[in-house]
Amino acid sequence: MTETMAGAAPADDIDLPPVRSPTVLGIRRETWPKILMPSTMGFLGLVLWEVLVSVNAVPHYILPGPLLIARTLWTDWGTLSGSLWITLQITGMALTVAVVLGVALSILFSLSKWVELSFFPYAVILQVTPIVSIAPLIIIWVDNTYLSLLICAWIVAFFPILSNTTTGLNSADHNLRNLFELYGATRWQTLRRLRLPAAMPYFLAGLRISGGLALIGAVVAEFVAGSGGVESGLAYRILESGYRLQIPRMFAALIMISMSGIVIFLAMSLITHLALRRWHESAIKREN
Amino acid sequence: MSPQDAHGGAERAALRPLVELKRVEKRFSNGTLAVRDFNLAVGHHSFVSLLGPSGCGKSTVLRMVAGLGEPSRGTIDWPTSTDDAGGRPQREIGFVFQEPTLMPWATALANVRLPLDLQGVAKGEAEARAAEALAMVGLKGFERAFPRELSGGMKMRVSIARALVTNPRILLMDEPFAALDEITRFKLNNDLLELWQTQRWTIVFVTHSVFESVYLSERIVVMAARPGRVVADIAVDAPYPRGSAFRTTPVYNDWCRVVSQSLGHAMDE
Ligand SMILES: Nc1ncnc2c1ncn2[C@@H]1O[C@H](COP(=O)(O)OP(=O)(O)OP(=O)(O)O)[C@@H](O)[C@H]1O
Ligand SMILES: [Mg+2]
């Protein structure tokens, strides 16, 4: 009796394979075109570039081919990587200072309307004044080139963080704020448990913009500073290569700057994703 | 103070209302007169519904009772509550908003724990009490879930658990079930009644559903709009416990008719 019962498998016991989209080399099949299409286009572009350059015998001080640029990247890696390191250092420090000061100031703004009213206009002025026009002044005033570059990069990176975090701190749900009031929360409790978490997505969006801007600020300031003593960043290498007509090297430095920008952006996106994936709409993969 | 006095005090306390609104008026800064000459005394352990059309000032009244927004005129007294160390009257309020109003970055347990955390209750005790409150609303096993992983009804129950966790004397609920489907609403109605009877809370329940107010309350305060005021105060004379069968009794239907008529008058005015 029991045997026959067990023999007739009830319908819900049948093992259906779980529905999952098929993967190729660990990457979902739908994702592959997003990788393959731009890569193919890029590769074709490079081939075309190389062919045009060699067929028309374009001199490499006008336009070097991709192969030559790659070779220069390899042979000049020693000098270029040193410069890359300096540019990245300035970018990273400027961004760090921008984050610390930006968040601190926006907290101050959120705690006191008066502070916000008094200081916010100046932050706006700092933002709308083109950095190239203040950079020379800063470089004259500040003896240390490294420090002056840092200040320029910071000025550019600062505003998005300040403005976004300020908006975020004020965006906490009205009813939730009432709830905190109802339970007699102190200002500090409300800040830490409600306003800061609510500001997180805004802050991270600002961070993503500021990461790229810090790099731009660092590069622009270096251009303005020109030869900066012994330690010189990538922008200086570009200027230098221009003077010496080492155009392949110029391209190599350019590529390194672009790559740094992309890596910074990806890093910021990753941080955003990790911080928000548990709860914020922007980072959640909805299953419907 | 003699023992007799103390005894007499306790007796009087039982007769005095828990909260009393006297001639309360609320005018917003934009000039809207939301509530005028509003009088209401809520007795200990009673279940009072505020019923009225949209925009008649139900939320405004409830928020003022909770201390969110002072009345422009009139007083709100808590005759039986004592002041806490900071000189603020100890009201021990639980508030349930019309929306779940949960912190999306916190788990269900952390959301329920919030009032205890704000009051400085030790972490271990707070966790235990929050888990207990979640179990009370039937969400055992969902402690680690984030709000986005919960259905609308479940979110609402988390919100109710948060209001319960401090073991308040009075529970203020602003159309807590308005956004839910009927089946879930009926279930939560029953759960709420059961909790009210076992825990002996005082509940002020805002709703715009005649049926819900009759099913739940001992007393229905019908309001009219522009400006918000009381137009009828109806004691629903039907015994508890009221189960789902109550909805099919003639008594229930009679009360629904009475309340509907009175609401109709309120709309006509
Ligand atoms: N913050 C505010 N500022 C100005 N007017 C307000 C404010 N809040 C509410 N009101 C006005 O007060 C009146 C009553 O609003 P209230 O929210 O109390 O209504 P309600 O009875 O809860 O309505 P509903 O059932 O739609 O929730 C409305 O006319 C509304 O326009
Ligand atoms: Mg309302």
pLDDT, tens digit (0-9, with 9 covering 90-100), for B6-31: 444 444 445 788 888 888 888 888 88
Least confident window among A158-172, A203-217, A219-233, B169-183: A219-233
Phi-psi region at B67: left, alpha or beta (left = phi > 0; alpha = psi -120 to 50): left
As given in the structure block, the two tokens for residue A215 are 């790099």
Q: Exposed (0-12), middle (13-18) or buried (19+): which is B80, by Cβ within 10 Å?
A: middle
| Res A74 pLDDT > 70 | yes
d(CA A183, CA A170): 20
The pLDDT value given to residue B121: 84
As given in the structure block, the two tokens for residue A262 are 């992309």
- Give the confidence band of B69 by pLDDT, cuts at 50, 70, 90: confident
Least confident window among A23-27, A188-192, B174-178: A23-27
The pLDDT value given to residue A93: 94
Pocket test for ligand 1, best of B26, B32, B212 (most atoms within 8 A of CB): B32
For residue B104, give the nearest of B59, B158, B61 by alpha carbon. B158
The pLDDT value given to residue B5: 41
As given in the structure block, the two tokens for residue B98 are 């019309």
Least confident window among A6-15, A79-88, B85-94, B125-134: A6-15
Average pLDDT for A13-39: 75
Q: Which residue has better confidence, A258 or A184?
A: A258
Q: Which residue has better confidence, A169 or B92?
A: A169
| Res A94 pLDDT > 90 | yes
Phi-psi region at B31: left, alpha or beta (left = phi > 0; alpha = psi -120 to 50): left
Average pLDDT for A57-74: 88
Least confident window among A11-20, A25-34, A194-203, B44-53: A11-20
The pLDDT value given to residue A236: 86
Least confident window among A1-15, B7-21, B63-77: A1-15
The pLDDT value given to residue A21: 67
Q: What is the ipTM of this complex?
A: 0.83
The pLDDT value given to residue A18: 61
- Give the confidence band of A231 by pLDDT, cuts at 50, 70, 90: low
* Pairing assessment for the beta strands B73-77 and B19-27 based on DSSP bridges: antiparallel
Nearest by CB to A284, which of B63, B93, B148? B148
Read off the DSSP letter of residue B121: -
Is the distance from CB of B230 to CB of B249 less than 8 angstroms?
A: no
The answer to whether B105 contacts A280, with C-beta atoms less than 8 Å apart, is yes
- Give the confidence band of B85 by pLDDT, cuts at 50, 70, 90: low
Query: By percentage, how much of chain A surpasses pLDDT 70?
Result: 89
| Res A4 pLDDT > 70 | no
| Res A79 pLDDT > 50 | yes
Average pLDDT for B208-218: 87
- Give the confidence band of A135 by pLDDT, cuts at 50, 70, 90: confident
| Res A59 pLDDT > 90 | no
d(CA B247, CA B267): 25
Highest mean pLDDT among A156-170, A233-247, B174-188: A156-170
Distance in Å, CA B193 to ligand 2 centroid: 22
Please provide the average confidence, as pLDDT, over all residues in chain B.
Answer: 83
User: DSSP labels for A106-172?
Assistant: HHHHHH-HHHHHHHHHHHHHHHHS-HHHHHHHHHHH-S-HHHHHHHHHHHHHHHHHHHHHHHHHT-S
Pocket test for ligand 1, best of B56, B61, B204 (most atoms within 8 A of CB): B56
As given in the structure block, the two tokens for residue B152 are 């609308």
| Res A203 pLDDT > 90 | yes
Q: Which residue has better confidence, A257 or A24?
A: A257
Contacts of B196 (CB under 8 A, 6+ apart): B47, B203
The pLDDT value given to residue B4: 40
Cβ(B34) – ligand 1 distance below 6 Å: yes
Average pLDDT for B57-86: 80
For residue B256, give the nearest of B216, B196, B202 by alpha carbon. B216
Which residue of A179, A181, A203, A278 is the best one to mutate when testing the B interface, meaning the one whose CB has the most B CBs within 10 A? A179
The pLDDT value given to residue A16: 62
Nearest by CB to A175, which of B97, B106, B146? B97
d(CA B242, CA B264): 26
Packing angle between helix A77-111 and helix A196-225, nearest 10 degrees? 140
Distance in Å, CA B147 to ligand 2 centroid: 23
The pLDDT value given to residue B10: 43
d(CA A226, CA A232): 9
Contact status of A182 with chain B (Cβ, < 8 Å):
yes
Least confident window among A239-248, A267-276, B176-185: B176-185
Least confident window among A157-166, B93-102, B219-228, B232-241: B232-241
- Give the confidence band of A12 by pLDDT, cuts at 50, 70, 90: low
Please provide the average confidence, as pLDDT, over all residues in chain A.
Answer: 85
Number of other CB atoms surrounding residue B37 within 10 Å: 14
